[in-house]
Structure 1
């Protein structure tokens, strides 16, 4: 199972400094936590109590106290207190695995600290935002924020935060599997922590060093560092760090095929993660346990673990965790003999895998950029070294062997020139490799989004939702899909669906309609977006007719004796809203009553037919290429009675076109 890697040096150097009072006011009932005191003057009491709960690992309770302190600080106009409270709220969301919420509060915190010129607070927020970007897979963005944090702290001389950010950079090297540089940065941070006597940070650092050793399969050193980290974390009662180290120990023993020992540590990690409401480690621990149960043939127990993990991963929005959970459920249902369920989770696993490919491409580009930077540093070092040597030889040999000196100088110049030429040639190849990877990323994006939408996303970083007054929506669905799929193997089923949907994609491209998405055995497309055009209604009807003709032709040509699909198809036209949803795997989607009505057109249609609404009929009834069959008023769930029409090619017009084509040839 692919491990979700958390940057271990996150969020332990938060800016404090609020004045603390010695007592709480009158206790009153609260709809969320009935033990929370009712404040009457300042927010410091709430803040102090929140810190106590944080240190005890009760993050959800601590969050509520920090939120109350924030309200008080805002009401009293205490800007410093507001920044501190926002920082703490972001921290609590992080420890509960809610990373997008955490980033939102760290951004607010940085903005508040900038207003009051709190440089140390800004640096802390920058580092924390960088760490969240690291977890979400945006390593270039993470590096940008780390550099901002280091730049500020080098001016302030704060060794603790410099060490933390140095360790974060080591984490990026670990992610791109540059273990030498990863260990180098981790050990730089380790030296500073030991000088400062900072045991909490040292525990986090030792856990990171253990991860590097584990990735290098140096299991002995990995185990030693994990155990040291665990001992320090237990002495500090740091439940978050205890959870992380226990999980890493489980991973270590799993890699050595000691499954009983691995399961023991996974169970301990799960137990502590549940206590502190850490959804991320709760989910990944359950997936790890589920995979071990599968090895032992306990499919039903594995199913329960992995379904719980998938539910938590949905809340987290962590794509890699969802992918691992779906992979576990695919294997589980396959072992249970439920091929339909296994196929569902196999398709979901593949979808999440595709989404992660863009992150993989980004990481490859990042690795190339790191190599390029190292190359430039190497060239600079060589030039300096040879310059020193040349000057030294000039001083020593100037009076004694002038001729030999000139020859040696020319020799070294030739060496430098050859080295520079070779390195510059390598840099050119590296840039070309980066260009190829960027082109691949561009093609991946255009496979997901329309050209216009992709351009807007690259330019602005987001896409504005748009209203369209006249968009046609097409839905297809295979009749008796479940019964038919049970007669095919999973490979045959996926192959048959893929053949059909590839044909539909080709037809959609031919008639310039936009494929929106596939949902199981359903195919959805739209005409007239993202750029409206006058022939969109005629084109989408032609596309629907060709799709049905393809399905009929495939049925007639079927000589294998295997069951084939029959398809319903419905089209409606009207206003919709279109835009992008999601932050990891972008999807261009449409919403509105028009979409719902189009779906009803499909579900109330007949196999082999193109069913359209009365409103669409009114728009295209004068088209000579089509003939229509009025079906009357059809009772539709949630819509009442709707007039519907079957549409097909006008045979006379089609024959006329064929005759003209024949004569022309």
Structure 2
């Protein structure tokens, strides 16, 4: 069995976004800053900056790091300084992650991302996405991790944040390393390493060198691996950053195992355990114990191997309790532990039986029979118990995933998260939202002649494509009523280009319906579509206590509906409000002022296409 490779994704991701001239986390720097903190002379932003840097550099006492982060959050909240508030939640998540509380870490990181996005604080938003990706990587969820790594990388590529980009590339490379995509890992390390060296960023350079060494170790290039890892360890010792040193030492043990030098391999693994124990690095303690268990088993000392394996299980379970195991894949279960214990006990019993038979066979046989009987009862009981636990966990996880997926099908992700956390969703007002309505011409009269099956199939054919187009442009589907389709842009998070995206989506919808009409094989029934769009303020929220529905209200919605009813087949009819926002990007045709039910005369425009 291989040692779990990832152990320090988060060492890079959290610290390089707000200290451009720093060389990385540094415990000596934390001790120096603590002296300034104790004097109590600073206030306002100066004190917030101090608390941020204290929490960041405190790498040997994560409870103290969490204390500084909480104080920063409280101060930033009281002074309505949202950039520092986002940084405070980022530091809080970092501390929880280091202490193994991944659930609280994710909660803090998502809060940081939300605040940063609302404030258009790009570096803070990217830092939060990177931290979220690191936690998902630790939880062995590579799909979610890659999604958030790419979000962070895209943000940083579009800005001047080169150190932040290098950090995201390094951590994504570490993920590729853990899923054994070594070529992709080296690509990321090469790009990130070049940036770190150009910026003289010592921590990033050290991690990058060590990571490249670990790739070489997995590829069997032991000489290169040993050279890189030793260089990284020397740099990290200067910075008193011990967590990655512990991990690199276990890889040095692997190198000497391949050389056939078990004694030196044991020496490196024991150094890793001593270092991790000294600084209470629980994940690293668990991994070091596991490595020692492997090495002693290779050396033929199964008793000592089992001792270290039990210590590995104790520290592993102290980091990941039973509830969190449901969220983390590919972890060993208690059943494996019971199997290991039973196997070793049986071997011990057989050995004792063989030795004692020479002295007193009758006594030994009775004692051994009793021991084997009790072990058999214990093993059988543990086997049944763990099979039951395993089945129960699987059922709970499947039901949880199913309910989460169903909730996300009817609510935006952020709204669904708020509903799960508090049991309710507060209504929110959005000052600028673009609303779209579509309707098929003549559908109602024609549908009277269709069977229910064909009717549902036809609606499903069109609306499935509408859903894909809406998702493509980052819009939110609100609901369908019969053959009418409604969506909105600019919520649940406010955006600047929602009107432009909505018009582009409307053009794709109109083109799709027109093309479908030409292709008689696509469906048994083809239509023309009318589209109407309006922009303005709305109120959004969740209605219902059991069957939840996300909906929006306001005059903006009513006018959008009137735009659709006053449109023409195949046309996109927009209000004056929307026209003012998109007139520079799109070719629009003024229709004049038309009578609108309950609204009087309103200016309307047809969208003819994108300007050259």
Q: TM-score range by the shorter chain?
A: 0.5 to 0.7
CA distance in 1, matches of 2:86, 2:253: 41
Candidates 158, 176, 182, aligned match of 1:219: 182
Mapped to 2, the partners of 1:353 and 1:405 lie a distance apart of: 59
Equivalent residues in 2 for 1:222-371 (5 A)? Answer: 222-333=185-296, 341-342=304-305, 344-356=307-319, 358=321, 359-363=324-328
Post-superposition shift, 1:134?
2.9
Q: Where does 1:613-652 land on structure 2 (aligned, <5 Å)? A: none
What runs of 5+ residues in structure 1 fail to find an aligned partner? 17-50, 382-390, 418-665
Q: Is the 8 A contact 2:126 2:155 kept in 1?
A: yes
Moved more, 170-179 or 400-409: 400-409
Q: Deviations over 1:153-208 (max 9, x none)?
A: 22211111112212222233333444333222222221211221111001011112
* Mapped partners of 1:78, 1:361: distance in 2: 44
Aligned to 1:78: 43
Please give the secondary structure, in 2, of the residue aligned with 1:363. Answer: coil
Report the counterpart of residue 12 of structure 1 in structure 2.
16
Q: Aligned to 2:440, what secondary structure does the other structure show?
A: helix
Instruction: Verify the 8 A CA contact 1:70 1:81 in the aligned structure 2.
Output: no
Q: Distance in 2 between matches of 1:205 and 1:139?
A: 19
Deviations 1:27-74 (A, max 9, x none): xxxxxxxxxxxxxxxxxxxxxxxx97xx245823322331222233x1
Aligned partner of 2:455 in structure 1 is: 409
Residue of structure 2 aligned with 1:134, choices 88, 97, 101 = 97
CA change 1:363–1:372 in 2 (3 A) is: farther
Aligned pairs, number: 369
- Does structure 1 conserve the Cα–Cα contact (< 8 Å) formed by 2:100 and 2:319? no
Higher relative contact order, structure no. (Cα contacts within 8 Å, ≥ 6 residues apart): 2
For residues 361 and 137 of structure 1, do their structure 2 counterparts lie closer, same or farther at Cα, with a shift above 3 Å needed? Answer: farther
Map of 1:46-85 to 2, 5 A cutoff? 55-56=22-23, 59-72=26-39, 74=40, 76=41, 78-85=43-50
Corresponding residue of 1:208: 171
Cα offsets for 1:603-647 (capped at 9, x unmatched): xxxxxxxxxxxxxxxxxxxxxxxxxxxxxxxxxxxxxxxxxxxxx
For residues 180 and 333 of structure 1, what CA distance do their matches in structure 2 show? 35
Q: Does 1:395 align with 2:451?
A: no
The alpha-carbon distance between structure 1 residues 371 and 215, as it changes in their structure 2 partners (threshold 3 A), is farther
- Verify: 1:153 aligned to 2:116, yes or no: yes
Contact 2:25 2:241 in 1 (8 A): no
TM superposition score normalised by structure 2: 0.53
Q: Secondary structure at the match of 2:408?
A: helix
Instruction: Note closer, same or farther for the CA distance 1:279–1:68 as it changes in structure 2 (3 Å cut).
Output: same
Provide structure 2 residue ranges, at least 5 long, that are not aligned to the other structure. Answer: 330-395, 413-436, 464-612
Aligned 8 A contact 1:143 1:169 in 2: yes
Cα displacement (A) at 1:411: 4.1
Find the partner of 2:77 among 98, 114, 121: 114
CA-to-partner distance for each residue in 1:377-405, whole Å, 9 max, x for gaps? 34569xxxxxxxxx856325457776349
Preserved CA contact (<8 Å) 1:86 1:106:
yes
Compared CA separation, residues 332 and 266, structure 1 to 2 (3 A): same
The alpha-carbon deviation at position 333 of structure 1 amounts to 4.9
Q: Is this contact kept in 2: 1:307–1:325, CA < 8 A?
A: yes
CA distance in 2, matches of 1:67, 1:328: 37
Question: Counterpart in 1 of 2:127?
Answer: 164
1:113 alignment partner, SS class: helix
Q: TM-score normalized by structure 1? A: 0.49
Output the aligned Cα RMSD. 3.6
Q: Distance in 2 between matches of 1:366 and 1:196?
A: 40
Matches within 5 A, 1:328-477: 328-333=291-296, 341-342=304-305, 344-356=307-319, 358=321, 359-363=324-328, 372-378=403-409, 394-395=440-441, 397=443, 403-404=449-450, 408-411=454-457
Measure the CA separation in 2 of the matches of 1:231 and 1:126. Answer: 30
2:31 and 2:235 mapped to 1: Cα distance? 21
Per-residue deviation at 1:81? Answer: 2.8
In 2, distance between residues paired with 1:262 and 1:366? Answer: 40
Contact 1:190 1:202 in 2 (8 A): yes
CA pair 179-357 structure 1, distance change in 2 beyond 3 A: closer
Shift of 1:138: 2.4
CA deviations on 1:537-558 (whole Å, 9 max, x unpaired) are xxxxxxxxxxxxxxxxxxxxxx
Q: Does the aligned pair in 1 maintain the 2:83–2:116 contact within 8 Å? A: yes
Partner of 1:199: 162
Partner of residue 598, structure 1: none
Distance 2:204 2:402 in 1: 32
Question: CA 1:225–1:82 in structure 2 vs 1: closer, same or farther (change >3 Å)?
Answer: same
Offset at residue 278 of structure 1 (A): 0.6
* Equivalent-residue separation in structure 1 for 2:266 and 2:456 (angstroms): 73
**Cα deviation per residue 1:476-501 (whole Å; 9 max; x = unaligned)?**
xxxxxxxxxxxxxxxxxxxxxxxxxx
Alpha-carbon spacing, 1:150–1:349, altered in 2? closer, same or farther (3 Å): closer
